[in-house]
Amino acid sequence: MRAVERLAPHRLADEWADMAANGLFHRTPALSARAGITPAQKHAALFLTLAGLTAVTLNPGFSWILLQSIAALYFLSLIVFRLAAAAIPVHRAEAATLTDGELPVVTILAPVYNEAAVLSQLTRALAAIDYPPDRLDIKIIMEADDRDTIRTARQLVFDSRFEIIIVPDGTPRTKPRALNYALTFARGDIVTVYDAEDVPHPGQLRAAAEAFAAGDAQLGCVQAPLNWYNHERNWLTRQFALEYAVQFDAILPLLARLGMPLPLGGTSNHFRGLMYQEHQISD
């Protein structure tokens, strides 16, 4: 069967697309990059520039030693942090065990752009996920001007879990804008983001749902560890795999243990949806 293709009425589509691109600016301009550099930031940059030039002019030798010392301390702190991440055992949080009937609805957002060649691989990987079909809502998101990918998607055979989302033309044509637009159609209690080249583990969604069930209301996102599927191919892929392993198996667990902010990658992230929060509040 063919996937359902979701197209909003023209006026609504334009309004939703504008909110997807500019919603943050409309709601909180100070938090949006569209607002540009603030006067306070300009003054701070000017002050630091003048202070640096003055220091170099008055005492170039001391300024060079100070700069080297700051750089040395910075790199030393990175080395110490990585050694600590390797030495401190990883704390594994307990996860709940949910039956199929207890699993929440999950919406998968998979934006693709000029990626017709990998679309079949992506859809096969998503179709292989071990999750109840009636609780899985998969959105394949494409830009209106990406005719090759749209044509390929329309030729693929999908099941009822899949839906094609066409993002109206507009700027900036970015992944965040496409995701924000597709959120309008999401019906999941958990929202998951995958990239076009991803091949997620079949049990990943269950693991994320069980992590949310075991966590408290402050748990807003579960990030899946990433790695290279062809890590044994050559020396370069092994180095990439090693770097990913260090990031997800050592550095991020230590940041979490220290209660520090965690950087998120652009894919394989599972977010607690608003509906999920409402269910918890009502419970």
**DSSP conformation class of 250:** I
User: Reduced to 3 states, what is the DSSP secondary structure of residue 163?
Assistant: strand
- What average pLDDT does the segment 240-255 reach? 90
Domain 108-226+265-282 in CATH 3.90.550.10: yes
pLDDT digits (tens, 9 = 90+) for 43-100: 999 999 999 899 888 898 888 999 999 999 999 999 999 999 988 887 777 778 899 9
- Decide which of 9 and 77 is more confident: 77
Q: What is the pLDDT of residue 24?
A: 84
Number of neighbours of residue 128 by Cβ within 10 angstroms: 11
Q: Which of 175, 100, 97, 118 is nearest to 141 (CA)?
A: 175
Q: Kindly tell me if the per-residue pLDDT of 278 is higher than 50.
A: no
**pTM here?**
0.83
Q: What is the pLDDT of residue 75?
A: 95
Q: Which of 237, 208, 206 is nearest to 225 (CA)?
A: 208
- Four-residue CA torsion sign, 20, 211, 206, 127: positive
- The tokens of 169 are what? 């033309």
Question: So where are the chain's domains?
Answer: 41-86, 108-226+265-282
